[in-house]
Structure 1
Amino acid sequence: MFEIVRADASVIRLLPYQVVQLTEYINETVTLRAILKGTATLSPVLFNPVVLVAGEIATEATYVCRALKLGTTVDLTAYLKASLPFGSAITVEYDKADGTWLSLPLLSTDALSDPAWVEQKRGVTNITATEGRIKITLTGGPSARPRVGDLGAAIM
């Protein structure tokens, strides 16, 4: 077992490989302690390496897919699964591979078996372009961590 001691003396107890997600940004020095237990005849052993990995949560993340071949008067539909806790948001846009981003409107939302996730269908009709891209922008923070997966697109 491990403990992280924060600057305010609060203690976060951890098991090996346990992940802790804080709900606020912090800028402080913490101390990592290993809690070792033994007996009168058995000494505890701590094997290398012991690592505390700290990360930083960005307030915004952007993904742009590779260029997709479009055509004349086509419909562009995007499908994705999203987990958007309160305080987070998603923006989905498309362009004609020219850097002019336009909103890709939400057409429908379907609940999934995991109540934290939904499947979104977004699309636009009657566009004409040689190529196009889809851009997803997520906003959030430590207390609202958005997630997206299973991105797919259809051109008809």
Structure 2
Amino acid sequence: MDRDPLPLSDLARRRHRIRLRRQDQRWQPFDKTAKLGDFDADLQQPVAAQPYSVGVMLSSSNAVTWTPHQDEDICFQLVAAKFAPATKTVNVGTFAVANMSDLLIRAEVELPTAAAAMHFEVELDDGSITLLNPDQAWELQSFYTGNVQVRAVLSGAAKVSPVVFPVILAIEGELQTTGTYVTRAFDMGTLVDILAYLKTKIPTGATIALHVDAANDVWTPVPQVTQTPLQDAGWVERKYSLAGFTANPVGRLRITSNGTPAARPMAYDFRAISA
């Protein structure tokens, strides 16, 4: 009988079944069974006890209705793994990057119990090592150019091991230091007042600015007039206002952000009106 090419994790107090089924009626699935009172030709001794008292053999002619046989069992072999050592490091590979600011390593990992664990070691040319879990994003503090070596560290116990499936995928990213968002054109008018709100988190070294145009790419700054701290640390709601602007019939707003890997501006919940 062929073995499953992949390991099967099992837990205590879980019942399983071994099912032998064949459409070919000439095949006899129960040639290797033991019944109480019969003679075991392989061991040259009578079957005097039930070998597998934790389970019951059943048979069926249609695979729907099953008949239990309390005094008979199938002969089978159950292979279990015993893992050693409890921790193992596997070299995943090395790749070259240019101006990398972000890294994410994707992997499908099975952790059968809390005794199993798995993480990646990421080593750069300077010898620094960063530990990452699968699908955990790493935001570097500066752009990096060089080699990246990735190792998988698996840990478990004698009867428990993490299972890592193919394929492991390393995804690198290069942060753009400048970004813009332009709204759709909406109704404005002659000498209107522009009012906008934006929730932001702007670390030292980063900036966010707001501009308005008359859908003609001639941008006018919209100054910030107030800011209100929010509950989340570092987040504030900024109010922008500009009076007497003409954009007839429509205009647009533009958000411009500038930052670095160490200073990444963030913004959401943008609202704006003209009156």
In the alignment, is residue 71 of structure 1 matched against residue 169 of structure 2? no
Match of 1:108 in 2: 226
Where 1:142 maps in the other structure, the secondary structure is coil
Count of residues in correspondence between the two structures: 156
Cα offset for 1:43?
A: 4.8
Q: Give the superposition deviation at 1:143.
A: 0.4
Deviation (angstroms), 1:125 = 1.4
Query: Following the alignment from structure 2 to structure 1, what is the Cα–Cα distance between the partners of residues 189 and 269?
Result: 24
Corresponding residue number in structure 1 for 2:131:
13
Alignment match, 1:127: 245
Q: Cα RMSD over matched residues?
A: 1.4
Which residue in the other structure is 2:262 paired with?
143
* Matched letter for residue 71 of structure 1: G
Please name the residue that 1:82 is paired with.
200
> Unaligned stretches of 5+ in structure 1?
none
TM-score, normalised to structure 1, is 0.93
Letter in 2 for 1:92: L
Superimposed CA distance per residue, residues 100-129 of structure 1 (whole angstroms, 9 cap, x where no aligned partner) = 111101111111111211111111112232
CA displacement at 1:46 relative to structure 2: 0.8
Q: Which amino acid aligns with 1:8?
A: D
- Aligned-pair CA distance for 1:41: 4.5
Higher relative contact order (CA 8 A, sep 6+): 1
Amino acid at match of 1:126: G
| Structure 1 counterpart SS, 2:138 | coil
Counterpart residue type for residue 53 of structure 1: I
Where in structure 2 are the equivalents of 1:5-84 lying within 5 Å? 5-84=123-202
Q: 1:43 to 1:113 in 2, by over 3 A?
A: closer
Q: Computing the radius of gyration over CA atoms, which structure comes out larger, 1 or 2? A: 2
Partner of 2:115: none
Partner Cα separation in structure 1 for residue 126 and residue 256 of structure 2 = 35
Query: 1:154 corresponds to which residue?
Result: 273
Taking the aligned partners of 2:253 and 2:197, their CA distance within structure 1 comes to: 11
The one-letter code sitting in structure 1 at the alignment partner of 2:174 is: E
Counterpart secondary structure, 1:16:
coil
Distance in structure 1 (CA, Å) of the matches to 2:198 and 2:132: 34
Over the matched positions of the two proteins, sequence identity in percent amounts to: 38
Residues 137 and 40 (structure 1 numbering): CA distance in 2 closer, same or farther, change over 3 Å? same
1:67/1:38 CA distance change after superposition, 3 Å: same
Q: Distance in 2 between matches of 1:85 and 1:39?
A: 44
SS in 2 for 1:30: strand
Unaligned runs of 5+ in 2: 1-118
